[in-house]
Structure 1
Amino acid sequence: MSRSGKDPHERLKTAKKRTASSARWLSRQINDPYVKQARAEGWRSRAAFKLIELDERFALLKGRQRVVDLGIAPGGWSQVVRKKAPAARVVGIDLLPTEPIDGVTIFEMDFMADEAPAALEGALDGPPDLVLSDMAANTVGHKQTDHLRTMGLVETAVDFAINTLAPGGAFVAKVFAGGTDGDLLTILKRNFTTVKHAKPPASRKDSSEWYVIAQGFKGRAATSNPADDPSGDQDA
């Protein structure tokens, strides 16, 4: 018997009924301390700790009034927002169904749909001061294609943030190894006071995911040249 009281042979037998990749995923979940901690503390996913750690480093949630959660399912990030900024109005969107969260308006729809931005703005009754995106495209197994598909979502999220954020607001989005595309990074630097990349400890070491954190939205009239703005540092 193992220390947990479970028979390791039984676990192996169960794994044999699965594909190799599924068995690896299950084994990783079983042994992941963040998964265990998330269950113990009532978070819907281990991803909650990524936002908690990013908030500890960048003070993303302090004083927030209106927050958008892009790719909300299963809801871990919005749970964190509700705990850290209980007065904030929160709206989330995802193609996947998401169980209700007290104080959060959830749209089960495609963020890329034409009507999505207006639905999100309408639910907030005012401009957001924080846009979060943990979106990632479904992978097809080809690294370059997967990267391009996810960056397409990031570009759409950036466009939404720039067109809706209140001055001084912030934007956080999942990207992958190599960071944010050069042209997209230029847009972020032009529109935000600081732009950083970070990999929170809760991100698995073998994962290629990083996060871009853009803070201090300058407003939609921003015209500054990022080359002249030394504060737009992409290093984390």
Structure 2
Amino acid sequence: MAISGLGGGSVFTRLAQSAPGLKGSALLSNITSVTIGAQAAGQNELIVSGIEKQIQRLQGFNPNISEPQSRRLAEARAEIQQIERNQSPAGLSERLEKRRIQLFEESYKILGKRYVDIDSNPKLKAIQDKIDKLLEPPLRGEKQARLERLRKLEQNYQRQFFRNPKNESNIRQLTNTTRQIASLVPPRLFNELSPAERREYDALAKQGNDIAGTEVFLSSQTQIKIESLQRTIGRFTG
């Protein structure tokens, strides 16, 4: 799970969807026009758009991009999605991974921010892993036991995969186990963390940002502001 300046891809996705033919507010229009009329629906869209721009600024992005830039983001986003659909449990080929990084770098440049590939930097990856662990919900009893069993299975399937990467049955089992782990320990919201946990996160975020030389990890205070704005959007979109 990524807690980076991209915010899990939300800014990139929203701005890409603002390109012609990919209106991110289409679903909102369909819902609200039925209940409160097209004019009010348009007003809600403006409010949601304004809140989304606040989120983008908090994440360090420039939301005021031109229409050609928006179209280019949509094209890059579509190509990234196509690349990631071809990803195996072992990852992407060197060629596709290089292309994926190029597309993210181009997209971030359009959005006014420098892209940092966390996975390619062992120090940043170690910090991200610590953050992911910190954000895991505390489990006890049977849930904790199940998580431990699933992680052992995952490790076993991973070893089998590297011995025989063409074993489709093992790939399906690995994918299914990974999904079960993700559903069992979804990351907590930042407003659910204790003050001590927020301090621990902020220390990790500062360490990561110092290593990267740019803002890769947002502060817990900024993350909480974003969560609040996202809840406000939820009230408008149902």
Give the helix-richer structure, 1 or 2: 2
Higher RCO structure (Cα 8 Å, ≥6 apart): 2
Give the strand-richer structure, 1 or 2: 1
Shorter-chain TM-score above 0.5: no
- TM-score normalised to structure 1 length: 0.29
